[in-house]
């Protein structure tokens, strides 16, 4: 697979600054042997953009997918910071994404949570390739999220 940072540049994607913590927790926690648990990230980016509302009521499927994409950018930013950035190998040290869990702020009759979370999964697949960037995944609807954000995603990663 090509260099992750080259792929990001090719796709004209700039990682945001790691998001500020929204509580008392660790954004990335190492456990076991070379495994990282990444705390849930919402869609607020360091440029001030955010996606607020319930998908299927206030937001379209496409807007929900954009929120999931933003969540994944924030997860990658946290991983990049934890793994030392481009100079130290950073995201190129990811051996594989193991598991993604997405929570979608959903209208009561909205049932397309997997399609929403695809917005983030497609980013992983595009940047890391199928072998590294296609994890096991769960996407569920919830009736409320912190600050009313459209979704929150967490991830488990194995690295080298």
Question: What CATH number does residue 109 fall under?
Answer: 3.30.1330.40
Query: Position of tokens 């697949």?
Result: 125
Structural domain harbouring 72: 28-40+50-143+154-159
Quick one: pLDDT at residue 1? Answer: 54
Q: What is the pLDDT averaged over residues 41-70?
A: 96
pLDDT at residue 98 is higher than 70: yes
**Mean per-residue pLDDT over the chain, rounded:** 96
Distance CA 5, CA 110 (A): 36
Identify the DSSP state of 90. G
Quick one: pLDDT at residue 141? Answer: 98
pLDDT at residue 144 is higher than 90: yes
Q: Count up the domains in the chain and report the number.
A: 1
Closest CA relative to residue 152, chosen from 123, 95, 113: 113
Angle of CA points 57, 63, 64, to nearest 5°: 75
Is position 69 within any domain? yes
Is position 18 within any domain? no
Predicted model pTM: 0.96
Is position 88 within any domain? yes
pLDDT at residue 112 is higher than 90: yes
**pLDDT confidence of 2, banded at 50, 70, 90?**
confident
Is position 97 within any domain? yes
Distance from the Cα of residue 143 to its chain's centroid: 20
Is position 4 within any domain? no
Q: What is the pLDDT averaged over residues 19-36?
A: 95
């Amino acid at each position: 697979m090509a260099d992750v940072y080259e792929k990001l540049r090719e796709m004209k994607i700039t990682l945001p600054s790691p998001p500020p913590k929204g509580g008392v927790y660790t954004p990335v926690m190492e456990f076991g042997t070379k495994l990282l648990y990444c705390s849930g990230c919402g869609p607020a980016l360091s440029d001030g953009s955010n996606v607020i509302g319930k998908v299927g009521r206030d937001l379209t499927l496409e807007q929900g997918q954009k929120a999931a994409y933003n969540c994944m950018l924030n997860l990658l930013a946290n991983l990049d910071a934890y793994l030392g950035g481009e100079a130290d190998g950073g995201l190129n040290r990811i051996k594989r994404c193991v598991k993604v869990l997405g929570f979608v702020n959903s209208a009561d009759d909205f049932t397309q949570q997997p399609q929403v979370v695809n917005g983030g999964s497609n980013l992983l697949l595009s940047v890391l390739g199928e072998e590294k960037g296609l994890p096991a995944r769960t996407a569920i609807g919830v009736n409320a999220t912190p600050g009313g954000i459209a979704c929150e995603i967490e991830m488990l990663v194995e690295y080298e």
